[in-house]
Amino acid sequence: MAREEHNTAVLLLDNELEWTTLRLRKGEQEQVDQQRVTLEGDASDEAARSAQIKSAMGGIKGTLTAVLPTDKVLLRVVDLPSTDAEELAGMVELQVDKFSPFPVEHMAVSYEVLSMHGEDSRVLIAACKRDLVESLGDLFEAVGRRPDRIDVAAAGWWHHVQALEGQQAEGRHGMLLLDASGSELVIAQNGVPLLVRSLGMQADASDEEFYRELAEEAGYTLTSLESEWGLHAALDLTVWHHGAAPQLLIELLQQESGVAVLARSLDDMPPLSSGIAARSVLARDDEQPMLDLSLEEWKAEATSRKGQRKLLVLVASLLAIWLVGMVAVFAVSHLGRSQVERLRSEVASLEAPAEDVMVLRRRVNSMEQYADRTHSALEILREVAEMLPDGVELTSFSYRKAGQVNIRGESPRVEPIYDFLEELERSPLFIEARSEGITQAPGGRRNPDFRLTARLPGDEEERQ
């Protein structure tokens, strides 16, 4: 990470825009800017809203993180039997399939490792609808750039609570935070969250109605928590609030949940955007993944643009060197043969940088292929399973990314095998499908065996 790179977090709620910019300097976080402004006009007019944001914030330096309200995101804390990042990513998708009302392909999904014990990991899973993320990206793209990261409001508040109260508070404790960004409930044990959820916005309800609803939801949540994570006698709940303490809410929470309820003022806590900006700094330095709901194709495009800029700089440098070399060759053409040979040797030395440019280009292409999940192993296996005719059984499935898929199986009859091959040839996921042979045992003592190979996009580049 650059020693003084800026990290800006932006929170947009209705007509309120809040942002904080931090700079990491000599290992310390330094606040560069922090503001909150009111935007005018209709929030649904995206063009006018983008223009106001750009006018208020000006140019955005370094990393940009946008904040999603917690009530727009599905959040779950689960224990998973792995510490490997790739394995965890696959397990997280399976978990989202269980609790999300929408198909996982229509969701933006991310996770954050909260703690590790032996071979197990406790992770916070976040999922929201892709179109919500896309609309947020379009809004900031009109300002000048898409966000580099998308975080969740509850994570920023929890960062502040950890900083104020200590990251390893023993026992089970709860936080109910009331802010314009929403009402956030976090239950943690020994400093590690067990539950993170939104209890909704007040909207047009009166304080009493809203407080009763919050107390009922909190009581129900604590009961569900005990069934999932077990009883814990030392639970207490802290209500973080603006202004005077909400005594009615405190009384209702004590009645509904039967736990000790404390009150603390949010006036003692930094703004939400500063917590998200601080997490953005940690996300750049931490080896473990943190919540980031930005889309994979955004990352691929950003990587491609960086690679193209490097490629253009290298090409321009090489061209300039080549031109200088050619001018020198013509200028000294009247010199002796030894001098000409020396100049030819210098021109030949430029071949190595040119090869470096080609290597860089191949790496950029490889990164784009890796970010493209269209041809992931799960997607290919799903496509093959849907095409499989009745009676045909797979005995082997071998996958190599940006390469090919090798399929082996058996069938009581030969005709379905050819039907299966034709289906693979018509699939848009493969550039070619071919048979490697069909074997029939003498006398028909067993079903015919077959071997098929389907090539994936990118395989042709590896063959060159």
Count Cβ atoms within 10 A of the Cβ of residue 104 and give its class: 0-12 exposed, 13-18 middle, 19 or more buried.
middle
pLDDT value at 1 more than 50: no
* Residue that the structure tokens 């071919």 belong to: 434
Do 225 and 101 lie in one domain? The reply is yes
Tell me the two tokens of residue 128. 């929201």
Q: Report yes or no on 107 lying in a domain.
A: yes
More confident call, 127 vs 161 = 127
pLDDT value at 372 more than 70: no
pLDDT value at 289 more than 70: yes
Q: Measured in whole angstroms, how far is the alpha carbon of residue 228 from the centre of its chain?
A: 27
**Which are the contacts of 150, defined by CB distance < 8 A and separation ≥ 6?**
65, 66, 67, 68, 108, 133, 136, 292, 293, 294
Do 384 and 273 lie in one domain? The reply is no
- Lowest-confidence region among 2-6, 23-27, 100-104, 296-300: 2-6
Do 310 and 425 lie in one domain? The reply is no
Do 245 and 308 lie in one domain? The reply is no
Most confident stretch, 288-292, 303-307, 315-319, 340-344: 288-292
- Domains held by the chain: number: 3
More confident call, 5 vs 322 = 5
User: pLDDT above 90 covers what percent of the chain?
Assistant: 32
Domain limits for position 456: 374-463
Among 285, 308, 333, identify where a domain stops: 285
pLDDT at 3: 46
Long-range pairs for 341-347: beta carbons < 8 A, 24 or more residues apart: 347/322
Do 255 and 277 lie in one domain? The reply is yes
**Which are the contacts of 280, defined by CB distance < 8 A and separation ≥ 6?**
7, 9, 22, 63, 65, 149, 151
Do 107 and 206 lie in one domain? The reply is yes
pLDDT digits (tens, 9 = 90+) for 351-365: 777 677 666 666 655
Do 43 and 167 lie in one domain? The reply is yes
Do 379 and 328 lie in one domain? The reply is no
On whether the CB atoms of residues 401 and 375 are closer than 8 A, the answer is yes
More confident call, 333 vs 171 = 171
Q: Report yes or no on 290 lying in a domain.
A: no
The sign of the CA dihedral 264, 193, 35, 2 is positive
One-letter identity of residue 378: L
Tell me the two tokens of residue 157. 């508040």
Sorting pLDDT into bands at 50, 70 and 90, what band is 2?
Answer: very low
Do 362 and 437 lie in one domain? The reply is no
pLDDT digits (tens, 9 = 90+) for 104-121: 889 999 999 999 999 999
pLDDT at 107: 92
Q: Report yes or no on 291 lying in a domain.
A: no
Name the residue among 161, 162, 177, 159 with its Cα closest to residue 277: 159
* Residue that the structure tokens 């955005």 belong to: 60
Do 152 and 190 lie in one domain? The reply is yes
pLDDT digits (tens, 9 = 90+) for 226-274: 888 876 656 889 999 998 999 999 999 999 888 889 999 988 889 999 9
Angle at 277 between CA 271 and CA 280, to 5 degrees: 150
E strands along 14-169, which residues?
Answer: 16-25, 28-38, 63-68, 74-80, 107-117, 120-129, 149-152
**CB atoms near residue 230 (< 10 Å):** 10
Q: Report yes or no on 44 lying in a domain.
A: yes
Residues belonging to the chain: 464
Angle at 212 between CA 211 and CA 216, to 5 degrees: 115
Among 371, 399, 416, identify where a domain stops: 371
One-letter identity of residue 1: M
Q: Give the CA distances from residue 22 to residues 277, 354, 415, in Å, rounded to whole numbers and listed in that order.
A: 6, 39, 66
* Residue that the structure tokens 């919540």 belong to: 291
Mean pLDDT of 366-388: 73
pLDDT digits (tens, 9 = 90+) for 179-226: 888 899 999 988 899 999 998 888 788 889 999 999 999 888 888 888
Q: Report yes or no on 206 lying in a domain.
A: yes
**How far, in Å, CA of 350 to CA of 316, rounded?**
13
Among 252, 285, 318, identify where a domain stops: 285
